[in-house]
Copies of this chain bind each other. A is one copy, B any other.
Amino acid sequence: MAFADLNKDELAEVKAQLEEAYAQSKAKSLALNMARGKPGANQLDLSMPMLSVLTSAEDCFAEDGTDCRNYGVLEGLPEARRLMAAMLDDEPENVIVGGNSSLTMMFDTVSWFWSFGSLGSKPWREYDAVKWICLVPGYDRHFAITQHFGFEMIPVALGADGPDMDEVERIVAEDASVKGIWCVPKYSNPSGTTYSDEVVRRLAAMPCAADDFRIIWDNAYTVHHLFDDVADQDQLLDIGVACREAGNPNRYVKFGSTSKVTLPGAGIAAMAASPDNIADLKSHLTICSISADKLNQLRHVKFLRDANGIAEHMKKHAVILRPKFELVQRKLEEGLADVGGCSWSKPRGGYFVSFDAPEGTAKRIVSLAKEAGVTMTGAGATWPHKDDPYDSNIRIAPTLPPLEELDAALDIFVCCVKLAYAEKLTGK
């Protein structure tokens, strides 16, 4: 029966039982982690052959004869640009292949717009205030970048089809100091949402008071399906096509990486944008870099080959990840469906499940879990300034722990959710 329908005595009894169960969990002194979107060790093992594809000098030459062991090739090897273009749904000539981190490329892009402007616009640092749309729940490291530059972050709800576009359109139409929006458009972090075609078209076409409004399109999970059948995979309209069709070809900058395809920290990142934006961004890149690590680019090309190679490799990840995501759904369903007050996402890809606890309980749940040996992403992390006004959203990251640890961690999590909810309903 739903907790909200219990009378006072029944609730008190339920709470007492939960406290007992919680105490037993705590006594086990576990150390479990559902905090960060890290691949598990067996996923990393999948890419070990990549470390052996370059061993001799002959292996180190690019298709155009470039000795990849030496300086040069700022925008990345032709074959690496082709590979990443396949991931980014773009043409190789619009792609810059960077170092090991799309986060770094996004930081640099925002930093350069802020420092120098975009395509001749006034540098954003010269505004009294710069505002930025932050979809919630969203990715904490995105929000940290805009916070670092002192932008005022405007939270807008991310719904089942993507951002609340009425709200987004209203905000960007009226205020030229609104300069951008963070988007994880496919299998978003944390809710697993993929934007509908209509949302993508509205983002591309909406009238913006700022000529230099920019969509930071962090397509981090574009190939990260949980299911092999195309019918069970989300599809995303290309923002580049939509922006060109809408007559706003310079509005977007796309990012992606192989961090969760091959190896986090030892992958390759890339960006794609209109020729004008790429030329503009390269005018800064050429000052701070001679080239990214071309040997690592070459490793990736030799290992992943092309879009088909990536898709085949991702199926191996899915074999490992699918049971973990299924376990999350089963444990939450079994443990919380009857209790009520909670909801959670059922993603078909990506790295997270977004969990909405009863209002005002998220911090308590995370704290209870921590004390019982289960580390969760901090409550509030999915909101700008780590401040969830509803104290409700919790990001579940099920990928790192082995299945049996995840099982134990989810039991404790469910217990903590129920206990915090019972505390709330009983006035603690």
Contacts and interface: CB of A to CB of B under 8 A. Distances in A.
Given A52-B52, A71-B259, A266-B296, 7 more contacts: A48-B57, A68-B266, A71-B265, A99-B99, A115-B125, A145-B287, A296-B296
A263 B287 CA distance: 20
Contacts of A52: 52, 55
Interface string A71-107: 1100000000000000000000000000111011001
A290 B144 CA distance: 12
Given A48-B56, A69-B44, A71-B38, A107 B295 contact: no
B104 A115 contact: no
Nearest to A52: B55
A111 B105 CA distance: 15
A55 B44 contact: no
A108 interface: yes
Interface string A32-54: 00001011010011011001101
Interface of A: 36, 38-39, 41, 44-45, 47-48, 51-52, 54-57, 59-60, 67-72, 99-101, 103-104, 107-108, 111, 114-115, 125, 141, 144-145, 148-149, 259, 263-266, 284, 287-296
13 contacts: A38-B71, A44-B67, A52-B52, A72-B265, A99-B293, A103-B289, A104-B288, A107-B287, A115-B115, A125-B125, A144-B287, A265-B292, A265-B293
Nearest to A148: B287
Nearest to A55: B52
B289 A101 contact: yes
Contacts of A38: 70-71
Q: Which 5 A-B pairs have the closest CB atoms?
A: A107-B288, A266-B295, A44-B69, A71-B264, A148-B287
Contact of A288 (B55, B57, B68, B108): B108
Given A108-B288, A145-B287, A70 B264 contact: yes
Contacts of A263: 69-70, 295
Given A44-B57, A288-B107, A293 B295 contact: no
A399 B144 CA distance: 44
Contacts of A41: 57, 67, 70
Contacts of A70: 38-39, 41, 44, 263-265
A99 to B, nearest CB: 5
Nearest to A53: B51
B148 A284 contact: yes
Contacts of A69: 44, 47, 263-266
B48 A51 contact: no
Given A48-B57, A56-B48, A287-B148, A265 B295 contact: yes
Given A44-B57, A293-B296, A68 B144 contact: no
A262 B415 CA distance: 54
Contacts of A104: 288-289
Contacts of A149: 115
B292 A68 contact: no
